Structure 1
Amino acid sequence: MKTTHLLITSVAALICANPSFAQSYPERPVTWIVPFAAGGPTDGMARMVAAEVSKELKQPIVVENVGGAGGQIGAAKASNAKPDGYTFLVGHFGYMAAAPSLYKTMKYDPIKDFDAVFRFPDTPLVLLVGAGSKYKTVGEMIAFAKANPGKINFGNAGVGSSSHLVAELFAAKANIKIMQISYKGAGPALNDVMGGQVDAMFDQTNTALPQTKGDRIRALALTSSRTMPQFPNVPTISGTMPGLEASTWYGIYAPKGTPRAMIDTTYKAYQKVMQNKAFTDKMEQQGIFLLPEENYAPDAFQKFTQSEIGKWADVIKQAGIEPQ
């Protein structure tokens, strides 16, 4: 009886390990955990992609919003989910790369507890100033800051936000001192930039794009690796400061232990979505930055996540931001 049991177990294991076994996957709805409330940029991006990926998987993708603690509550829930291919995390720059250096304790590890599945297109940031600002170029701003240390202030969406950390990266690369003013969200910060109470801020391209079409704000430079047609005549910061590239990025992660065949099936569905020009054109029109296809793949995204953790750890340490 024991020999028979072992034989059955071994055969079952072989079947599960065989890639053909995953051909029927998924057989029921899949859940994507978004660690923020509904209606925000992470939620909006996730729902836009999920709607298309679900068509390719031929199963609904249920977006579950689990907000709190800057995304850490939802990420912790996803890390404890059964690794059966039916629960995924919508990851984000903040709680997957910056958080390990911003918090002394976390209930999940972005690398040890997750496997990357695929990366979304990026949302770079754009350096914004009010329409009446004296700064016409990044070079002019840097020159003033060098002559007047700490006299330029930057608004941001909160401590640890991309607008906060990218401003610190900018200051470090330019070797200047700036003053940061943290708000409860990007909206109030942007309003004060437009009103002239704050000198500048970095905002995501997709949220800043509608504002730049008005006459109250000007875009000085992009943090993307190349210029974007949605921001005509706006150069990249890397043209002035080589190596300064940054984005608010998103992607899908699976709880560690999820079968690779299921990860690959999910990624292949996403590949097909990204080959749909009507969909990618729609993303670009919203100020979202498309990447080379190889950047989206599981292994490349896993390496990118690891590199981002190190990159922002250096920025946070140099800025003197104490872990909470």
Structure 2
Amino acid sequence: MKHWITALTVAGAFALPMGAQAQDNYPSRAITWIVPFSAGGPTDAMARNVANRVAQELNQTILIENVGGAGGTIGAAKAAKSAPDGYTFLVGHIGYMAAAPSLYARLPYDPVKDFQAVFRFPDTPLVLLVGESSPHKSLPDLIAYGKQHPGKLNFSNAGVGSTSHLVAAMFASQAGIAITPVAYKGAGPALNDLMGNQVDAMFDQTNTALPQTKGGKVRALGLTSADRMAQYPDVPTMGEKAIPGFQVSTWYGLYAPKGTPNKVVQTLYQAWQKALADQAFTGKMAEQGIQLLPPEQYAPAAFQQFTADEGKRWAQVIKQAGITLQ
């Protein structure tokens, strides 16, 4: 299903970025961003937020096309096979652009070879949660229990191979404990069972977990960010309390099919740079616990290298945890 996202302001052709004018007034028609998940989830919400702002800078419509299934790999495969004409892009995600090559025996695309990175979105750290009535009052308490009772801690996640699954596996490995993953069809059901005390713990994104932590329905034990966050003033980082150097975030970004003209890539990137200069836009993201990055990390070349590096990083985690998908 496609949804229209249009510019909120109207301007003439002279408002188009210089790169767009050089590319035959690109974009001269609507652009499609493929989101490989159903509408309403965190990836879809992030994509719509960014697309709406970029559409304003391009002075053109951006279509969001939700193509769900197989952990995002179906939508990614469709984007990889799209014409590299600058009118179809993929909203990429840590799962199907970094972890998938090590999870699936046969993947119909290569995240690095079949795509050109356009720009990276801001990151979203995760937070380790337990239920309100959990006996585990701190991160060291939880780890100590895990060491004393191998496999007794049940960690819910949004599905096999999801970010919450992979980060829990990384956590268990670095903490030196054995946990039991419990997979759900999405983060919502996984969080509901945590609040209902059906499972012991869960990693969730800081922005989506915030309402539940503020409402006292869950308790936050540790953040995966490098530093403490204003939205979680009393919650330490994982590295601060238990696992030095532990840092990971859910990341997103825009990719074009390989072969897309560089002028097109630069036009989109320039539009994104202008959006990032809007403090009202970035301020709202920061308020939600979404972390802005150093300017150079958003750029196409840096994001392309980051994608390759993340693939190697998660290959090690997945191999060590023994996670496989058919």
- TM-score under structure 1 normalisation? 0.91
| Superimposed CA distance per residue, residues 210-244 of structure 1 (whole angstroms, 9 cap, x where no aligned partner) | 11111221111111122111111111112231221
SS at match of 1:166: helix
1:134 and 2:165 matched: no
Mean Cα displacement is larger for which, 62-71 or 86-95?
A: 62-71
Q: 1:320 aligns with which of 308, 319, 322?
A: 322
Correspondences of 1:172-187 after superposition (within 5 Å):
172-187=173-188
**Shift in Å at residue 60 of structure 1?**
1.0
Partner of 1:94: 95
Structure 1 unmatched runs, 5+: 1-17
SS at match of 1:198: coil
In 2, Cα distance between the equivalents of 1:65 and 1:297?
Answer: 25
Partner of 1:10: none
**Shift in Å at residue 20 of structure 1?**
7.4
**Shift in Å at residue 192 of structure 1?**
2.1
Partner of 2:75: 74
Partner of 1:15: none
**Shift in Å at residue 19 of structure 1?**
9.5
Partner of 2:156: 155
In 1, Cα distance between the equivalents of 2:133 and 2:125?
Answer: 24
Correspondences of 1:175-324 after superposition (within 5 Å):
175-239=176-240, 240-324=242-326
- Report if aligned partners of 2:20, 2:267 keep a CA contact under 8 Å in 1: no
Partner of 2:86: 85
| Superimposed CA distance per residue, residues 171-214 of structure 1 (whole angstroms, 9 cap, x where no aligned partner) | 11111111111112222221222222211110111110111111
**Shift in Å at residue 287 of structure 1?**
2.3
SS at match of 1:108: coil
SS at match of 1:287: coil
SS at match of 2:177: coil
**Shift in Å at residue 24 of structure 1?**
2.6
Amino acid aligned to 2:161 = G
- Report if aligned partners of 2:71, 2:162 keep a CA contact under 8 Å in 1: no
| Superimposed CA distance per residue, residues 127-167 of structure 1 (whole angstroms, 9 cap, x where no aligned partner) | 00111222222112112212222221211111001111100
**C-alpha RMSD over aligned residues:** 1.6
SS at match of 2:23: helix
SS at match of 2:280: helix
SS at match of 2:37: coil
SS at match of 2:32: strand
In 2, Cα distance between the equivalents of 1:221 and 1:135?
Answer: 12
Partner of 2:10: none
Correspondences of 1:12-161 after superposition (within 5 Å):
21-22=22-23, 24-161=25-162
**Shift in Å at residue 40 of structure 1?**
1.6
Amino acid aligned to 2:176 = N
In 2, Cα distance between the equivalents of 1:21 and 1:298?
Answer: 19
Amino acid aligned to 1:293 = P
In 2, Cα distance between the equivalents of 1:27 and 1:316?
Answer: 43
SS at match of 1:24: coil
In 1, Cα distance between the equivalents of 2:285 and 2:24?
Answer: 30
Partner of 2:16: none
In 2, Cα distance between the equivalents of 1:70 and 1:196?
Answer: 26
In 2, Cα distance between the equivalents of 1:35 and 1:188?
Answer: 19
SS at match of 1:127: strand
Structure 2 unmatched runs, 5+: 1-18
Amino acid aligned to 2:289 = G
In 2, Cα distance between the equivalents of 1:260 and 1:51?
Answer: 23
- Report if aligned partners of 2:238, 2:246 keep a CA contact under 8 Å in 1: yes
SS at match of 2:167: helix
Determine which structure has more spread, i.e. the larger CA radius of gyration: 1
Mean Cα displacement is larger for which, 24-33 or 103-112?
A: 24-33
SS at match of 2:39: coil
Matched-pair identity in % = 64
Structure richer in helix, relative to its length: 1
